[in-house]
Chain A
Amino acid sequence: MNPLASNGAATDANAATATAGVAAAVSERLIEGLWVVIPAYNEGLRIADVLADVLRFCQHVVVVDDASTDETAQRARAYPVWLVRHAINLGQGAALQTGITFALAQGAQYVVTFDADGQHQAADLPALLEPLLAGQAHYSLGSRFLGRTVGMPWVRRLLVYAARAFTYLFSGVRLTDAHNGLRAMTREGASRIHLTCNRMEHASEIVDQIVRSGLPFVEVPVTIRYSRETLRKGQRSSAALAIAARLLLERIVQ
């Protein structure tokens, strides 16, 4: 049964039934046509836990290994997931787009982007997907500020606030969390995304493309967990300036 179709012409009495149907589909934990895209670069220590977590909620997972130099690919191969490997390191944006392209080619009806570093929780997937299944939106964006953060350094918090202001300035959209990698989109929404920024600038580019698609989007509370290892491996706070500069360059020159 397609929950979107059942919500199409609901009367008041049928609306309650339709909403119950959506809740039931979400609570089944396995949603037909759901694909999770996990871009990964040197996440050999964390990928196994992430896959074990995600596979509790989804049977179609694609890991895009962005030319890792550790055992990320080997660890991923032990799980019933698709593994797509870039021959050279291109960046998270490129890996994300590769995963989205692959999932759509496999017939995905819903695509979720999920980080490989353990910051995201698969338990957030049902809430993330609910607006899509209810036909309320084509994009569902996770927000740590509507939800919860665990172990987030204050410097990182400031940077995310700055990213939020930057996004409002240049994309004209108010988001509580502009750079959250946990997102869900319908097939139509995913097909309107085509990232050309290979590195971290893709986070702003994807917001731009979501806004320009004209399709409805919502923010959903999610939990983001930081650990010493992920903070050490992740983007340096000082790199934020370089990312902002590249974004400005893209906008001015292109």
Chain B
Amino acid sequence: MTLFQWCFAPLCFLLAMILVFRTARRTGAAWRALLWALVWLVGGVIILWPDLTTLAATALGIGRGTDLVLYVGALVGLYAFQRLYGRTRRLENTITEVVRRQAIDRATRGPAGSQTPEDASYGP
């Protein structure tokens, strides 16, 4: 085994185990934690047996295992970016609405008749 495999494979398996144990104590969204546990588990397996990615890539018609990892990483990254951006925009909209509501509630009007142009007439 290489130094990289010694360092990062156990880390991935540890993260997977932590998520599984945390899931046992939570009442909701267990599937999300288990999914992430699976991701870390797969990550650890790939680190220990990198040739598996080549097998998978060949089965999918992609040339190299690293290309497969790159494509999957790019797609997952794009999806994560879209989710994060959408969340950031919704947060921005919420802040804007709060500031707007507060500003409107505190609106004030200047004194009538102060510094008005000479030819102004304001009607009834």
Give the interface of A toward B (CB within 8 A). Answer: 30, 48, 52, 55-56, 59, 62, 64, 76-88, 90, 94, 97-98, 101-102, 105, 196, 198, 249, 253-254
Contact = CB atoms under 8 A, between A and B. Distances in A.
Given A102-B104, A249-B85, 20 more contacts: A48-B115, A56-B117, A56-B119, A78-B111, A78-B115, A80-B109, A82-B107, A83-B110, A85-B103, A86-B100, A87-B99, A88-B99, A90-B95, A101-B100, A102-B107, A196-B96, A198-B96, A253-B86, A254-B86, A254-B89
Contacts of B117: 52, 55-56
A56 B110 CA distance: 16
A52 B118 CA distance: 10
B53 to A, nearest CB: 30
Contacts of B99: 86-88, 90, 94
A254 B120 CA distance: 47
Contacts of B86: 253-254
B97 to A, nearest CB: 10
Contacts of B113: 80
B111 A80 contact: yes
Candidate in B96, B111, B115 with the most chain A CB atoms within 10 angstroms: B96
A94 B99 CA distance: 10
A78 B115 CA distance: 7
B66 interface: no
Contacts of A86: 99-100, 103
B82 interface: yes
B92 interface: yes
B123 interface: yes
Interface of B: 81-82, 85-86, 89, 92-93, 95-96, 99-100, 102-104, 106-117, 119-123
A218 B99 CA distance: 33
A135 B89 CA distance: 37
Contact of B123 (A59, A87, A101): A59
A84 B111 contact: no
A98 B103 contact: yes
Contacts of B85: 249, 253
A84 B109 CA distance: 9
Contacts of A94: 96, 99-100
Nearest to A62: B107
8 nearest CB pairs, A to B = A84-B107, A80-B112, A59-B122, A98-B100, A84-B103, A79-B110, A253-B85, A78-B115
A105 B104 contact: yes
B10 to A, nearest CB: 37
A138 B88 CA distance: 33
A103 B110 CA distance: 16
A198 B112 CA distance: 32
Contacts of B108: 77, 82-83
